[in-house]
């Protein structure tokens, strides 16, 4: 992995959960069409989100983390239900899983990539892994403070006050985002960020097809982690008749033994991917201004592109 070079303490990396953002742009921005009828509301919204965040936080480095594989086979092999409800029903025969994305959004994703390339904004993805795994690797390896922009609670596992890694949580909108630190995680869930992946494993997550442990909700999951430290400690305590675990949770944990054997590998984000060389330095001007102007004119992006260029110029 090529790590970001050592920089002064005022440097800050912003990592965008790109799909999380352009999905929110698509559903949150009214339909806008290019002259040829192509919908571009997700493109416009995504660019405006970037402009707002860069303007508010002034990062020195920025990466748009990309889902090269939104549903990696190795995760599906461990838990077949993983994101299964999002898969388009495939025709018979071998075919990669295709995410159920609205057609008017699907055709905008390549346009987003074209615009990002012309603007000179860094996009990083790794085959066989999700954007979350790219984010985990970047947040763990960066020699500078990190802001992770996402609407996915699973990335709370990356929050680390000691290394100045926080999440800008956009579930209620980019303009109404929450800065998630260790204190926020503890206040909301009664677990430390380092326990959050185990907490999510126990609780489950219907949006990702993770069943969790039947009968174990957030409150019980938090209390078990408080008492036994981590998932390994909980499983060991469930199997020890002399432990202080009460009968109800003990039986539920034992009944979910097969799930608990594999789920932690699915829920935990990767932190050690081998990333191809990249330059995350936030540019002060577009890499290819002529191409950016051409895309702006073709896709009715004049206003968001103008705002992006202005915020990059600083």
Least confident of 32-36, 99-103, 178-182: 99-103
**Would you mind telling me the total number of residues written for the chain in this entry?**
314
Domain annotation for the chain: domains and CATH numbers? 13-182+270-301 (3.40.50.1010), 193-267 (1.10.150.20)
Question: What band does 86 get if pLDDT is binned at 50, 70 and 90?
Answer: confident
Q: What are phi and psi of 94, to 5 degrees?
A: -65, 130
Alpha-carbon gap, residue 107 to 102, rounded angstroms: 9
Alpha-carbon gap, residue 278 to 265, rounded angstroms: 27
pLDDT at 102: 66
% of the chain exceeding 70 in pLDDT: 92
Question: What band does 89 get if pLDDT is binned at 50, 70 and 90?
Answer: very low
Q: Find out whether 226 and 189 touch, Cβ atoms under 8 Å.
A: no
Q: Find out whether 57 and 9 touch, Cβ atoms under 8 Å.
A: no
pLDDT at 130: 97
Please state the pTM of the whole predicted model.
Answer: 0.91
Mean pLDDT over 99-116 rounds to: 88
CA 75 to chain centre: 16
Question: What band does 135 get if pLDDT is binned at 50, 70 and 90?
Answer: very high
CA torsion sign, 21 to 23 to 24 to 25? positive
pLDDT at 99: 52
3-class secondary structure per residue, 93-160: CCCCCCECCCHHHHCCHHHHHHHHHHHCCEEECCCCCCHHHHHHHHHHHCCCCEEEEECCHHHHHHCE
From its phi and psi, is residue 283 left (phi > 0), alpha (psi between -120 and 50) or beta? beta
pLDDT in tens, 296-312: 999 999 999 999 999 99
% of the chain exceeding 90 in pLDDT: 89
Mean pLDDT over 5-15 rounds to: 70
Alpha-carbon gap, residue 126 to 69, rounded angstroms: 8
pLDDT at 101: 62
């Amino acid at each position: 992995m090529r790590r970001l070079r050592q920089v002064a303490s005022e440097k800050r990396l912003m990592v965008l959960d790109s799909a999380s953002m352009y999905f929110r742009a698509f559903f949150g921005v009214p339909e806008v069409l290019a002259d040829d009828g192509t919908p571009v509301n997700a493109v416009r919204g995504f660019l405006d989100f970037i402009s707002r965040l860069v303007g508010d936080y002034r990062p020195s480095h920025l990466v748009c983390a990309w889902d090269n594989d939104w549903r990696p086979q190795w995760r599906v092999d461990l838990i077949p239900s993983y994101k299964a409800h999002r898969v388009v029903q495939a025709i018979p025969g071998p075919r990669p899983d295709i995410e159920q994305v609205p057609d008017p959004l699907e055709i905008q994703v390549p346009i987003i990539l074209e615009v990002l390339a012309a603007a000179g904004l860094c996009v990083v993805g790794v085959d066989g892994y999700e954007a979350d795994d790219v984010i985990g690797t970047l947040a763990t390896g960066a020699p500078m403070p990190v802001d992770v922009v996402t609407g996915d609670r699973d990335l709370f596992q990356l929050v680390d006050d000691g290394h100045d890694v926080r999440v800008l949580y956009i579930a209620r909108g980019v303009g109404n985002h929450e800065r998630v630190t260790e204190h926020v995680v503890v206040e909301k869930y009664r677990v430390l960020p380092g326990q959050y992946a185990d907490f999510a494993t126990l609780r489950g997550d219907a949006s990702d097809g993770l069943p969790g442990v039947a009968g174990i909700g957030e409150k019980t999951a938090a209390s078990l982690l408080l008492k036994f430290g981590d998932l390994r400690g909980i499983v060991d305590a469930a199997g020890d008749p002399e432990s202080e675990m009460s009968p109800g949770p003990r039986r539920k944990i034992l009944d979910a033994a097969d799930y608990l054997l594999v789920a932690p590998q699915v829920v935990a984000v990767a932190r050690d991917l081998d990333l191809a060389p990249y330059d995350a330095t936030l540019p002060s001007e577009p890499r290819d201004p002529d191409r950016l102007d051409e895309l702006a004119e073709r896709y009715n992006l004049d206003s968001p592109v103008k705002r992006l260029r202005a915020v990059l110029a600083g």
